[in-house]
Amino acid sequence: MGWSELTDLLNLTGYRINIKGKTVVQAHGLQTAYNRKPRRTIRDPASYKYPYLLRELKIERPDQLWADDII
């Protein structure tokens, strides 16, 4: 249920509120069902970050290094 549905529900139950009443609704501890919050830098703790093994390697001649992706 989003904010527009919540305001419609409150209006039907007798509370006169408009879409700008969101701050009032939040002040009383009510929130929408989806509760969208920013998740900018949350990483999965189970995922493993593989190290870059070729960082120190100097490639000096052809066919010295071959690479492939495994998907």
Q: Which residue in 35, 34, 6 sits closest to 22, CA to CA? A: 6
pLDDT band at 62 (very low <50, low <70, confident <90, very high): very high
Tokens of 57: 């390697």
* Centroid of chain to Cα 25: 24
pLDDT tens-digit profile of 20-54?
A: 766 766 777 776 666 566 777 777 778 777 888 88
Say what the alpha-carbon torsion angle 51, 54, 57, 60 is, to the nearest 10 degrees.
Answer: -170
In this prediction, residues 49-66 reach a mean pLDDT of 88
Euclidean distance between CA atoms 1 and 63, whole angstroms: 59
Q: How many helices (H) and strands (E) does the chain have?
A: 2, 0
